[in-house]
């Protein structure tokens, strides 16, 4: 956990890290095409498989997020 927190303190993510969430927000067809092109081999395939098999994903944010349930 300590390494994850220290890594998150970096000023800017590498280029690939900055754009991956945008791909998953696309419509299903666009995401499926991007997944086939960029995540069907190598380290990207391995990384995506690990994420998809995870029991849960933890997102650590440095900023305070407002409560929308008021």
Residue 61 domain-assigned?
no
**Within a domain: residue 64?**
no
**Residue 8: inside a domain, yes or no?**
no
Q: Is residue 4 part of a domain?
A: no
Q: Read off the pTM.
A: 0.47
Please indicate, yes or no, if residue 30 is contained in any of the structural domains: yes
In the prediction, which pLDDT does 66 show? 62
Q: What is the pLDDT of residues 29-52, one digit of tens each?
A: 988 898 899 889 998 888 888 888
Phi-psi region of 61 (alpha: psi -120 to 50; beta: other; left: phi over 0): beta
Phi-psi region at 42: left, alpha or beta (left = phi > 0; alpha = psi -120 to 50): left
Provide the residue range defining the domain that includes 44: 16-53
pLDDT at 23 over 80: no
């Amino acid at each position: 956990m300590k390494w994850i927190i220290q890594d998150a303190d970096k000023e800017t993510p590498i280029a690939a890290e900055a754009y991956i969430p945008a791909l998953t927000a696309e419509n299903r067809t666009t995401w499926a095409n991007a997944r086939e092109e960029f995540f069907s081999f190598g380290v990207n395939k391995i990384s995506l498989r690990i994420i998809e098999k995870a029991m849960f994903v933890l997102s650590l944010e440095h900023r305070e997020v407002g409560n929308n349930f008021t």
